[in-house]
Amino acid sequence: DDDEVEKRLQQGDNDMVSVRSQQTIVRMHNITLQQFNDIVMQENGMSKKLCVDSGLYAHFASSPPGTFHTFPNPSWYNTIICLGNVDGAPILSFTCESFDPSLLNAPHESYVSVLCQGLVEMGFQKDEVVDYLRERIVQFDGESDTDALVKMLQRVVKERNMQQVDKCLSS
């Protein structure tokens, strides 16, 4: 239920934004521009051609949410998007320019467990966690994949001793 999710988000340090027509839950971290660029470089094979310079940063700081810049360099995450603005500083994220689901691999279990833990910390229940992940992870888009997703999440949380998540998934 979108109203329930919205209520939960307003109570925490998380925010919900519409990114290319799909709502996504995000966790914001206050990092420097250099740290942001380091993360973008790490995710793009250390390419310095994808860095946000001070001019682009200033452009984002004065632009509305949804403003984006796509670097011409071929790269998996070559698009920087402004999600909003807090105290004059742009909220930046990065994504891919285009999306071809046939090129995707299933996400690693550790990545899915991080997503699961964050959703549980926000108060999501088992069905909500599974539905949220299934709607967004292409490899889990069918009803038959629900059991596989739940089993994977249960295995990961037990291996990592994530008691709060384990309690949610066991209910």
If DSSP codes are grouped into helix, strand and coil, which group holds residue 56? helix
pLDDT, tens digit (0-9, with 9 covering 90-100), for 73-111: 777 788 899 988 888 889 999 888 776 666 666 677 777
Q: How far apart are CA 14 and CA 132, in angstroms?
A: 16
pLDDT of residue 74: 73
Which pLDDT score, from 0 to 100, does residue 72 have?
83
pTM of the model: 0.67
pLDDT tens-digit series, residues 118-142: 888 888 887 888 888 877 776 665 5
Q: 153 pLDDT exceeds 70?
A: yes
Q: What is the pLDDT of residues 54-74, one digit of tens each?
A: 999 999 999 999 899 988 877
Whether residue 35 is predicted with pLDDT greater than 90 in this model: the reply is yes
pLDDT at res. 78? 85
| Interior/surface letters 2-39, b for 16+ CB within 10 angstroms, e for the rest | eeebeebbeeeebbebebeeeeebeeeeeeebeebbee
List the strands of the sheet with 89-95, edge to edge: 68-70, 79-86, 89-95
B/e letters for 90-109, b = 16+ CB within 10 Å, e = fewer, are bbbbbbeeeeeeeeeeebee
- DSSP secondary structure, 100-162, as one string: -GGGPPPPPHHHHHHHHHHHHHTT--HHHHHHHHHHH-GGG-STTHHHHHHHHHHHHHHHTT-
pLDDT of residue 50: 76
Distance in angstroms (rounded) separating the CA atoms of residues 170 and 166: 6
Q: What pLDDT does 28 receive? A: 85
C-alpha span between 44 and 123 (Å, rounded): 33
